[in-house]
Every structure is written in C-alpha cells, then in structure tokens.
A and B are shown apart, each in its own frame.
Chain A
C-alpha cells in the first residue's frame, strides 16, 4: 500500500534553532500534502496544505513565516520551524493521498522538543 515517510522522528534542540522536517511519498506522487500539529490530549489540527509547485495554504492562526513549507517535487514536502521556541514543542505529522477522495496516508510523525 501507499507509504509516507517522515523524518526525523524526534528532535531536541535549543531555543532559536530552525528545524526542518521532511515528508516523502515513497510509492506514489502527491500534488497535495498536509501538515498537522497535535497538542497534548487534543486532536490533529491542520496547519497547512502543501501544494506542489506553488505556495502552501495556511490555516487561520498559523504563522507562515514561522512554519515554512516547501513542496518542490511530487514526492517531497518539507516543514521548517524557524527560530523555534519552547511553545513550538509539539507533535507534527504529515499526510498525503494518492488520489482525490481516497484515505490519507500518514508519516510516523515528528516529536519536537525545544529547550
């Protein structure tokens, strides 16, 4: 079945560091990928829609300059948390779908801890 690979799975770094997270579709092409964030004891919250070859679409309240998204190819989207601070500590996960109206395939997620 379709596989989405996400890495790194765990990042611990100092405040002020920028962190890049990669999301790859391994056996299908994805013109659209989604980035989610999960706060403790809450559900997955959509942050942005990553569109291949064009700008990402951010959800209300998500700072586009803080969370930079690049979708340069049909199999790779990256999320960069710029100048990360402790409040950015969270679980980030990406997903992609091989076709419209098909289920999403998720990466394993990235646990980000900013000290």
Chain B
C-alpha cells in the first residue's frame, strides 16, 4: 500500500495571492503522479499526470512540479481566484493503475 500524504490539510488564501501545496509519495517503484481538483457538488477533475523527474506542467494559472528522487510534487496557483476554491487531491498509481489518494488540501479563496 502506497503512502501518499498532502499538506497542508486546509488553506485560506486571499484573492489575488499565489499559493502552493505539497504532495509526498514513495520514491521507490514510482510510476506516475496525478493531481485532481474536486469542487463541491462536482466530480474530481484531472489536472495533471506527471511521470518524469523534473516534469513541470502548466494549465492556465495552475502549475505542478515533480521530484521523483525525493518523492514530492508541488502544485502552484498564481493569482488565486474564488473559482479556485476546491479540494486538491494527488494520487499515485501502482503498476496496476490502482490509485492511492492523499487526503487532499482544501483551498478556500477569500474574496
């Protein structure tokens, strides 16, 4: 069973500020790292799938980096907007595609 951890558990950020949070995972037998955004009353939405050490991916104001050697990924949000309020989940699959999720970071943007 993989141990995927996220921090912080929750975060309040002023609108317009930038923020980031962390996902840590086992560095051995690494396959991929997924990031999802889960808004209230909606289904989780895939943000990124990252596989290579040093990967950096961007989607609008959101970007993510990956360090497979030390077992962590950062998710960055630049210029936070109210619509960014959501729970952000990271997950790591084993070789059989079964995802182990972290507990998530609940982000609240304060207008």
- Assess whether A54 is interfacial by the CB under 8 Å rule: no
Cβ–Cβ contact A46 & B99, under 8 A: yes
Contact of A102 with B49 at beta-carbon distance under 8 Å, contacts A4-B43, A42-B103, A108-B43 already known:
yes
- With most chain B CB atoms within 10 A of its CB, the pick from A44, A95, A102, A109 is A44
Docked Cα-Cα span, A104 to B49, in Å, equals 10
Determine which of B45, B51, B100 lies in contact with A46 in the assembled complex, contact meaning CB atoms within 8 Å: B100
Cβ–Cβ contact B89 & A44, under 8 A: yes
Cβ–Cβ contact A107 & B43, under 8 A: yes
Determine which of A34, A45, A101 lies in contact with B49 in the assembled complex, contact meaning CB atoms within 8 Å: A101
- Assess whether A64 is interfacial by the CB under 8 Å rule: no
Residues of B within 8 A of A93 (CB): 43-44
- Assess whether B32 is interfacial by the CB under 8 Å rule: yes
Cβ–Cβ contact B102 & A103, under 8 A: no
Q: How many interface residues does chain B have, given as a range?
A: 20 to 34
Docked Cα-Cα span, A105 to B96, in Å, equals 17
Q: Mark A36-49, 1 if CB is under 8 A from B, else 0.
A: 00000011111001
Residues of B within 8 A of A78 (CB): none
Residues of A within 8 A of B49 (CB): 101-103
Cβ–Cβ contact B42 & A105, under 8 A: no
Cβ–Cβ contact B51 & A101, under 8 A: yes
Cβ–Cβ contact A49 & B98, under 8 A: yes
Cβ–Cβ contact A104 & B103, under 8 A: no
- Assess whether B83 is interfacial by the CB under 8 Å rule: no
Q: Mark B75-93, 1 if CB is under 8 A from A, else 0.
A: 0000000000000010000
Residues of A within 8 A of B44 (CB): 93, 95, 104, 106
Cβ–Cβ contact B98 & A34, under 8 A: yes
Q: Mark A87-115, 1 if CB is under 8 A from B, else 0.
A: 00000010101001111111111000000
Sample of 15 further A-B pairs with CB below 8 A, known A101-B32, A104-B36, A109-B43: A43-B89, A43-B101, A43-B102, A43-B103, A46-B99, A46-B100, A49-B96, A49-B98, A95-B44, A95-B99, A97-B97, A101-B49, A102-B49, A103-B49, A108-B43
Residues of chain B having any CB pair with chain A under 8 Å? 31-32, 34, 36, 42-46, 49, 51, 89, 96-104
